Copies of this chain bind each other. A is one copy, B any other.
Amino acid sequence: MKLRSPLLLVTATCLTIQIQAQQTIGQVRNYRQANEQKIMAEYLEFLAIPNVTSDTVNIRRNIDFIKGMMESRGIEVKLLGGRTPGVNKAVMGKVTVPGATQTIGFYAHYDGQPVNPKQWAPGLEPFKPVFLTAAIENGGKIISDYRPGQPIQPNWRLSGRGSADDKAGVMTILNAYEALVKNKTKLKHNLIFLFEGEEEEGSTHLDEIFEEHTQELKADCWIISDGPRHVSGKKSVVFGVRGDVNVSLTVYGPKRPLHSGNYGNWAPNPARMLVELLAGMKDASGRVLINGFYDDVIPLTVLEKEALANIPDIEQTLKKELGIVEPEGGGLPFLELLNQPTLNINGIASANVGAMASNIIPAKAEAVLDLRLVLGNDAERQVKKLTDHIRSKGYHILDHEPTDAERATYPKLIRVSDGTGYNAQRTPMNLPIARQVVKAVQSTTTDKVVLLPSAGGSLPLYMFETILGAKVVTVPVVNYDNNQHAENENVQISFLWEGIETMAALMLM
C-alpha cells in the first residue's frame, strides 16, 4: 500500500469537510421544504404584528411572539432592557454546546420604520402581509386567492413592514437553528441570539444593553443579519457599515399661514427660504458644498479597494431597474460613492400639495436630512459642520418653536434637532474569523460570494467592537429590491429559504 502524500491527505480532509457541510445544508433544505407551510404560517403571524419602534404596545406583542418562537425551539429566553425605563427590550437566547471553544452571536432587529399606509399600493397594508406575483413596481399583483396550505412559489414576494427589514433576520436565524436541531446536527459553537427592538430609531439603548450584559453577550464574532444581498442577487458578506445621524430642520415664516394674494411678494415664504437653504448644500452632481464635509474621511485600504474591483458591476442593471439615466456623483462608480459621507433629503413638507393645496404662504417648512458617515467621520462633528453652514447663511438656530421675542429679533429662524447618531464601522477583511465567515457562506452557493468592505446602510456595529470587544460581520439575506424603509416593503420567498441555509452554515462554521 502506497503512502498518501500529506498534501493529498489534507486535500481529502478538506473535501470531506466540504462534503459534510454540503450534506448538512442539504438536510436543512429538506427540513425547510417539508415544513414550508408551518414556517410560513408562523412568519405571516409575526408580520401581522405592527412593529414601528415607537409603538410600544405592539412592540411588546412582538417581544412575546419572538419569545414564543424561541421557547418552542428549546431556547431559553432573556429580555434585555438596559438601565433606562421604557426601553423596547432586546430578546436574547443562548445555546451552550459542551466542549465548544468559540461563541458565535447572531443579531437581527424586529422593529420597523414608520409607515404611512396611504402611500402603500392599493390593497397593500403594512401589517396585513400578502403574497404578490412580483414587486408592485414591476407590475406584481396580489395573490388574493391564496389559501394556507397551497404551494408557495419561490419567486413570489411577501409584502409588509418588516418582511425584509428585519424580521427576515429573526425568521431565518431561528428557522436555521430549528432545522439543525431537528436534523440532530452536532453543533460546534456556543450560539447567542440577539433581536433588538430599537434599531430603526438608531439603536438608542443598545450601548446600555451591551454595558449591562457584556458577559452574557461575549462572543468571538457577531453575525449581523440585516440589509439586502448584492444587487446581482448573489450572496454577500459585508465587513462594515456607514454611520448615520438624522437632522430635522424647520424654517419659520409668518406666525400663521397667509393668503398668498393678500400678502404675496411681502411676507417671507418659509418654503422659499428652505429650498434656498437646501439647494445651497449640494451642487448639481450631488457633491456636498458644506465646509470640510469630506475632510475626515479615512480612505479604503488596498485590500478593500481590490474587493470593490471584484464586485460585479450593477450600475447598468440598477439604472434600468430604477429608471435612472444620470446618477449623482459626477461619474464616480457606485461603490466608491457608497464609501463617502452623504447628505440626503429624506423628506420635505410645507403646507399641502395636490388636492389639498391652497393659495397660501405657509407658516413653516420642514425637512429631514440623513447624514451617512464613513470611517473617520464623527456624528457630532458632522452635524456641527451642517449647523455652522446654516448659521453662515444668516440663520438663527433654535432648539424650540420661536418665541415672539425671537421672531421680533431674527429675520431668519430655523429649528434644528438632531437624532442620536452613530459612527461607521469596518472589520478588516483579512482577519481569520472574517475568512471563516466567507467560507461558510460560500459553502451554500455555487456563485462567487460578493465581498463588500462596507455597506451603504447603517447599523451601530461599532458598539460590538467597542463595548463587547467582538468582531462583527454582516451577512444579509433579503433581495435588494425590497422597498426597505418605504411603502410596499417586501421580501422574495426564495431569499428567505436561502437565508435559512446561510444562517445554518454560519452556525456550523
A219-238 with Cβ < 8 A to chain B: 227-228
Most B Cβ at <10 Å: residue of A54, A282, A402: A282
Cβ of A345 < 8 Å from any Cβ of B?
yes
A279 to B365, CA, bound (A): 14
Q: A361 — which chain B residues lie within 8 A by C-beta?
A: 344
In whole Å, how far is A424's beta carbon from the nearest beta carbon of chain B? 11
Q: Are B407 and A353 touching (Cβ within 8 A)?
A: no
A173-215 with Cβ < 8 A to chain B: 200
Assess A254 versus B344: contact at CB under 8 Å? Given A262-B456, A276-B279, A370-B359: no
Q: Are A266 and B407 touching (Cβ within 8 A)?
A: no
Point out the residue from B248, B275, B340, B480 that lies within 8 Å of A353, measured CB to CB: B248
Q: Are A358 and B346 touching (Cβ within 8 A)?
A: yes
Assess A457 versus B262: contact at CB under 8 Å? Given A278-B272, A325-B409, A328-B269: yes
Q: Are B244 and A457 touching (Cβ within 8 A)?
A: no
In whole Å, how far is A130's beta carbon from the nearest beta carbon of chain B? 18
Assess A266 versus B483: contact at CB under 8 Å? Given A260-B346, A407-B323: no
Q: Are A137 and B480 touching (Cβ within 8 A)?
A: no
Q: Are B259 and A286 touching (Cβ within 8 A)?
A: no
Cβ of A274 < 8 Å from any Cβ of B?
yes
Interface residue tally for chain A (C-beta within 8 Å): 103
Cβ of A484 < 8 Å from any Cβ of B?
yes
Assess A261 versus B457: contact at CB under 8 Å? Given A282-B272, A353-B347, A366-B353: yes
Q: Are A265 and B455 touching (Cβ within 8 A)?
A: no
A340 to B354, CA, bound (A): 26
Q: Are B267 and A327 touching (Cβ within 8 A)?
A: yes
Q: A264 — which chain B residues lie within 8 A by C-beta?
A: 338, 342, 344, 370, 372, 456
Interface string of A332-365 (1 = CB under 8 A from B): 0010011010101111111111111111111001
Most B Cβ at <10 Å: residue of A115, A268, A350: A268
A355 to B116, CA, bound (A): 10
Cβ of A263 < 8 Å from any Cβ of B?
yes
Q: Are B407 and A325 touching (Cβ within 8 A)?
A: yes
Please provide the 10 A-B residue pairs with the shortest distance between their CB atoms, ordered closest to farther: A261-B457, A323-B407, A257-B486, A279-B279, A326-B411, A347-B351, A265-B337, A271-B345, A264-B342, A275-B275
- A residues lining the B interface (CB < 8 Å): 54, 113-116, 135, 137, 200, 227-228, 241-242, 244, 246, 248, 252, 254-269, 271-272, 274-276, 278-280, 282, 284, 286, 320-329, 334, 337-338, 340, 342, 344-362, 365-368, 370, 372, 402, 404, 407-412, 455-458, 480-481, 483-488
Given A260-B346, A265-B340, list of 13 further CB < 8 A pairs? A241-B261, A255-B323, A259-B456, A261-B455, A264-B338, A264-B370, A323-B402, A346-B352, A347-B362, A348-B348, A348-B350, A349-B354, A360-B485
